[in-house]
A and B are shown apart, each in its own frame.
Chain A
Amino acid sequence: MLKDLFAKKRKYATIPSDRVKQDVPEGLMTKCPVCKSIMTTKELNKANKVCISCDHHFRMTAQERINLIIDQGTFNETNKGMQTENPLNFPNYLETIEKDRKKTGINEAVVTGSGDINGHSIVFAVMDAHFRMGSMGSVVGEKITRAIEVATEERKPFIIFTASGGARMQEGVLSLMQMAKTSVALKRHHEEGLLFISVMTHPTTGGVSASFASIGDYNFAEPQALIGFAGRRIIEQTIRQELPEDFQTAEFLLKHGQLDAVVHRSKMKSTLSTVLDIHQGGEE
């Protein structure tokens, strides 16, 4: 771990550039799926992947999120060598995992570690929907649990950025139980009077929505992020009526009392920093 830390510091970069995979390669044009306006990808990346015409928040990789939120040079990743197993002997499961590892450069659908936000030391987890839709199996559950445990031990705030389609089908009931595992760890963190902030990004649904994502001391979300328990299609089939267009958006949740605030990406770091600052002030 130490060696890893020093290697990073020496390079003065948060990640080796050959492992960063952008969603859209630099130099090309990108069309916004919402307002259909066309911009250069460079412009888009400079705006932290927020459409410069309509504010549509494009998905971010875990690494992009870390670059945006965590102070440069302070990121220290944990448990990146943890490997997925195939408990149900699902055909091709490990092959698809390997494919996504190559595609994304991360070992599983969450990156965990410690770092600073404007000088405030935190432990955090960032889920990445580019890896198996951010679904939670044993490794995702265990990495998040260990991160919470570190936060509890070191008496630090824990912040999670969620992006997940829910529990991972291919690990069956083990995936379901990760909801309970992360919950017992969060309860212990909570009992110590420590701060937990949940930031929901697109999409946060199913078992992830129905566990740690929804129970932060502060619940934030990015604009227009899809957040909900059941899938839209399943609900429409069940109640046999069409759902309102804004159904299960961050704004819908705000209106129904499930969020503290919807926070624009450009304000996310300063918002988190404010909360951390107020909490630190309260402790002294």
Chain B
Amino acid sequence: MVGDLEFERPAKELRNKIAELKKFMDDKGIDLSDELERLEERLEKVEKEIYGNMTPWDRVQLARHPERPTTLDYITTLFTDFLELHGDRLYGDDEAIVGGIAKFHGKPVTVIGHQRGKDTKENLRRNFGMPHPEGYRKALRLMKQAEKFNRPIVCLLDTKGAYPGMSAEERGQSEAIARNLVEMAGLTVPVICIVIGEGASGGALAIGVGNHVHMLENSWYSVISPEGAAALLWKDSTQAKRAADTMKITAPDLLDMGIIDQMVPEVEGGAHRDLPKQASLIETVLKSSLDELSKMTRDELVAHRYEKYKKIGQYTFENDSIGVK
């Protein structure tokens, strides 16, 4: 398989061996099916061992896999009648974020997501999925449009972060992100956010304030990338693996901390190994989320989002504290 990762090497070697053996059997017409069966059993065991004991860093590698499905891959498999809508009406159209209207199980939705490229050419056009302010402002425009027409909003998060560039700062990167956070807080339609790959910092959160937030099993979501954390904490970006272990950035970690609502299981070996199957795993979670949230009134949806974020944080009080409100 193309794009095998370092931690998958034992499985890759076995897969190669099996392929060689099959070819040998075909070429020579010799029956070695006992040997083949033995190897296939071993492969199954090795895969279970590898994918059942993935470290946070292994998951980060899968989240960044060049063949990992992107927002548009899921949009075209999960939704029908997708019509992409462009531009923020203020400055331009940022292709690092895509969005539009579509149907999910026959019902209208607005869907928005970070979009990275599949190759260098597309990545240049899409700025590696790192939005400028106009990308966030386009997202907000589409969210407000969804609210006006009472459509639920689905956001797919997958970014290495908001673009750190001069033009982004000049056009108000901070304001664009901040505005989205506060406006998403008040949306009177259901908002469901799913981290499908990388969820880096404010650049991800800017389309991530939802009633329900889910994560794919091998995605990550944190205040900073493992490399960034390592550089800041230990002045050494090569300690990214250690940062991934320490920072609690994986779906199981965030589920454990009560920050996400559900972990969407992944196809064994990662989402890229079977897109239709992965899409159906997302579909199940999305369907139940939408069904649950569709029962809420506009006011209830806003209050629900308030309570969800209000309770996130860890702190205590001094026993003899004075001035406690």
Q: Which A residues lie at the B interface, using CB under 8 A?
A: 1, 3-4, 76-85, 87-88, 90, 138-139, 141-142, 145-146, 150, 167-181, 183-188, 190-191, 206-207, 209-215, 227-231, 234-235, 238-239, 241, 243, 247-248, 256-258
A188 cross-chain contacts in B, Cβ below 8 A? 185, 306
Check if B259 sits within 8 Å of A177, measured CB to CB: yes
Stretch of B75-83, B275-283, B311-319 on the interface side: B311-319
Q: What is the interface of chain B mostly: helix, strand, loop, or mixed?
A: mixed
Check if A258 sits within 8 Å of B164, measured CB to CB: no
B231: nearest chain-A partner, CB-CB: A234
How many B residues face the partner with a CB closer than 8 A? 59
B179 cross-chain contacts in A, Cβ below 8 A? 214-215
Q: Which of B205, B247, B306, B323 contacts A1 (CB 8 A)?
A: B323
B172 cross-chain contacts in A, Cβ below 8 A? 214, 256-258
Check if B222 sits within 8 Å of A184, measured CB to CB: no
A85-B316, A247-B166 are known contacts. Are A176 and B201 too (CB-CB below 8 A)? yes
B312 cross-chain contacts in A, Cβ below 8 A? 174, 177-178, 180-181
Given known contacts A177-B259, A187-B183, what 18 new A-B pairs fall within 8 Å (CB)?
A3-B322, A78-B324, A167-B224, A168-B223, A170-B233, A171-B223, A173-B248, A174-B314, A180-B181, A180-B208, A181-B312, A210-B174, A210-B177, A229-B164, A229-B168, A229-B202, A234-B164, A235-B169
A178 to B318, CA, bound (A): 21
B189 cross-chain contacts in A, Cβ below 8 A? none
Q: Which B residues lie at the A interface, using CB under 8 A?
A: 162-166, 168-175, 177-179, 181-186, 201-202, 205-206, 208-209, 221-224, 229, 232-233, 246-249, 254, 257, 259, 305-306, 309-310, 312-318, 320-325
Check if B182 sits within 8 Å of A186, measured CB to CB: yes
How far, in Å, is A123 (CB) from chain B's closest CB? 11
Check if A138 sits within 8 Å of B249, measured CB to CB: no
Check if A183 sits within 8 Å of B182, measured CB to CB: yes
A172 cross-chain contacts in B, Cβ below 8 A? 222-223, 247-249
A190-B182, A243-B166, A258-B175 are known contacts. Are A177 and B313 too (CB-CB below 8 A)? yes
Check if B164 sits within 8 Å of A184, measured CB to CB: no
B233 cross-chain contacts in A, Cβ below 8 A? 169-170
Check if B178 sits within 8 Å of A88, measured CB to CB: no
Check if B223 sits within 8 Å of A176, measured CB to CB: yes
Interface CB pairs A-B, < 8 A, 7? A78-B324, A81-B323, A180-B209, A184-B309, A207-B202, A227-B174, A247-B166
A171 to B229, CA, bound (A): 11
Check if A238 sits within 8 Å of B165, measured CB to CB: yes
Check if A214 sits within 8 Å of B175, measured CB to CB: yes
A138 to B315, CA, bound (A): 7
Check if B209 sits within 8 Å of A183, measured CB to CB: yes
Check if B323 sits within 8 Å of A169, measured CB to CB: no
B223: nearest chain-A partner, CB-CB: A176
A75 to B223, CA, bound (A): 34
Q: Which of B168, B178, B202, B316 contacts A83 (CB 8 A)?
A: B316
Check if A213 sits within 8 Å of B178, measured CB to CB: yes
A141 cross-chain contacts in B, Cβ below 8 A? 313
A256 to B222, CA, bound (A): 30
B224: nearest chain-A partner, CB-CB: A169
A83: nearest chain-B partner, CB-CB: B316
A145 to B182, CA, bound (A): 13
A215 cross-chain contacts in B, Cβ below 8 A? 175, 178-179, 182
Check if B306 sits within 8 Å of A184, measured CB to CB: yes
A229 cross-chain contacts in B, Cβ below 8 A? 162, 164, 168-169, 173-174, 177, 202
A169-B224, A174-B314 are known contacts. Are A90 and B246 too (CB-CB below 8 A)? yes
B208: nearest chain-A partner, CB-CB: A180
A38 to B209, CA, bound (A): 50
A187-B186, A207-B202 are known contacts. Are A181 and B309 too (CB-CB below 8 A)? yes
Check if A180 sits within 8 Å of B309, measured CB to CB: yes
How far, in Å, is B229 (CB) from chain A's closest CB? 6
Check if A88 sits within 8 Å of B246, measured CB to CB: yes
Q: Which of B162, B169, B173, B317 contacts A81 (CB 8 A)?
A: B317
A169-B233, A238-B164, A239-B165 are known contacts. Are A214 and B321 too (CB-CB below 8 A)? no
How far, in Å, is B5 (CB) from chain A's closest CB? 24
